[in-house]
Each structure stands twice: as C-alpha cells, then as structure tokens.
Structure 1
C-alpha cells in the first residue's frame, strides 16, 4: 500500500503538467508561449516584492534578538497562564502571524522538549494548522500590488 502511494506521489507533478498542457491545448491556448511570457514576468515580480520580504525578515529577527519577543510572551503568559495555557503555546501564538519558518522551527522544538502528547504540543499544533502568517502574507501581497497605506488592514487581519 505504501509503495503504491509513494509511486503515486511521484506521478502527481508530471500528471499535473500533462493535464495542464492538454487542457490548454483543448482550449486553444498557446501553452508554451503563455509559460514563457509568465516566466519573463517572474524576475520583475521578485524585484518588486523583495524589499518587503527583506523588511519583514529583518523585523522578525530584530524582534527576537531585542528581547521584545520574550517580553511580549511573558506578558501574555501572565494574562493566560492561569487558564492553563502553556508558555510554549503562547510563544507559538505570537510567532505564527510573523513567520511560517520560525513557527515551524519553534513547533519542532516544542515537540522535542515537551513530547508529542503534551498539552503544549497539542495547542501549538492547533495554532500551526489554523493560523496564517499574517504579516508575511501582507508584506508579499501588498508589496506585489504596491499598496502602501494599509489603515485598518493589519488589525482586521489579526482579528480574523
């Protein structure tokens, strides 16, 4: 059974490409030309969003290195610790909106230190699976379309 799934997983991408080419051909789309045109636009998009990505990564690292993350985590833990919320889950709730890779690393550390069946791991897993990297997504999307004035966008995204 596992061998079949592994074999199927190897076929997914080639089958998707084949399906896309066949579907485009049936719809009379010049598939190759469309692909080349999209590839030409790629570097321009990268150059447009790179400053926003760099800014968010530097801000996240500065947030962690300055001790502000620990201060914020300890403050939230003081508010929610009495409810039985583990400090590791508080850390995850703060990190997830900022960075997907940092929250993945944090989650891995939580599982290693508290064990896979701990309440901290379970709560962190729920946060990992249900939360979005809000600031990263906003940086990429708003940077790509050139929106500079966000006004209520960040608070609304954080509440949602």
Structure 2
C-alpha cells in the first residue's frame, strides 16, 4: 500500500505540469513563450525584494545572536509556565513568525533530543504546520508590491501565530496526553 502512495506522490508534480502544458497546447497558447514572458516579469520582482529579504535576515540574526531571544524567554517564562506551554517549544513559537529556518532548527533539535514521536515532537510538528513565517511573508509580499504601511496585517498575522502556538499545545495535549 505504501509503495502505491509513494508512486502517486512522485508523479503528482510531473502530471500537473504536463497537464498545464497539454491544456495550453490544446488551447493554442504559445506555452514556452508564455513561460519565458512570465519569467521575465518575475525577475525584476525578485530583484526588487532582495533588500527586504536581506534586512529581514539581518534582523533575525541580530535578534538571535544578541541574546535578545534568550532574554525574552527568561522574561516570559512565568506566563508560559502558567499556560502549561513547555519551555522547549517557546523558542520555536517565537522564531516561527520571523524565520522558517530558525524554527525548523529548533524543531530539529527537539526531534533529536526528545524524538519526533514524543509529546514535544508532536507539539513542534503541529506548530510548524499550523503557523507561518508572518514577518517574512509580509516583508516579501508587501515589499514586492511597494506597500509601506502594513497596518493591521502585522497585528493579525502575529495574533494568528500566537493562537497557533497556544492551540498547537492544547490540541496535542488533548489528543495525545489523555
């Protein structure tokens, strides 16, 4: 049974791409030329967002390397203890809105220390899947279209990441710790 699922997953992307090319050809769309035009339009956008990406990467590095993350964890520990949120998950919950790579590193450390099937491993997995790199996404998307005032998007995005962290812990406790 598992080999069949692996075969489907291996063929899914090539089948989708072939379908797009086939439908385009059937509709008499110049598929290759259209692809090239799209790539030409995407290149200036990529160049335009590079400064935003560099700024975000520098900010994340400074945040982690300066000790600000550790200080924040120490200051917020009583709140997380009160909410029964394991302290091992907190760095991941704080890094997830900022850096996907940073949160993935924390999750990998949790897996290596406690195991992926442990309660902490399950919480980390649910958190990784239920939250997003909000600040990165806003930087890239808003930077690419020139939006300077993020206004409510940052607040709503960070609030949803906070909810994802809280409910990841609660749902995993509810399903696996009973």
- Per the normalisation by structure 2, the TM-score is 0.81
Of residues 25-34 and 49-58 in structure 1, the stretch that sits farther from structure 2 once superposed is 25-34
- By how many angstroms is 1:146 displaced? 0.8
* Structure 1 stretches lacking a partner, 5+ long: none
Find runs of 4+ consecutive structure 1 residues off by over 6 angstroms: none
Greater mean deviation of Cα atoms: 15-24 or 130-139 = 15-24
Conserved 8 A contact 1:76-1:90: no
Using a 3 Å threshold, how does the CA distance of structure 1 residues 118 and 76 change in structure 2: closer, same or farther?
Answer: farther
Report what 2:168 is aligned to: none
CA–CA separation in structure 1 for the residues paired with 2:122 and 2:23: 42
Q: Shift of residue 129 of structure 1?
A: 1.2
Q: Which runs of 5+ in 2 are unaligned?
A: 161-178
Secondary structure of the residue that 2:88 maps to in structure 1?
Answer: helix
Name the SS for the 1:39 alignment partner: helix
1-side partners of 2:74 and 2:143: how far apart? 32
Deviations 1:15-34 (A, max 9, x none): 22210011112333221111
Structure 1 length-normalised TM: 0.90
Q: Distance in 1 between matches of 2:130 and 2:10?
A: 28
Root-mean-square deviation (CA), in Å?
1.7
Name the counterpart of 2:55: 55
Paired with 1:82 and 1:7, the residues of 2 have a C-alpha distance of 47
Task: Give distance in 2, aligned partners of 1:134 and 1:21.
Answer: 33
SS in 1 for 2:89: helix
Quick one: distance in 2 between partners of 1:10 and 1:144?
32
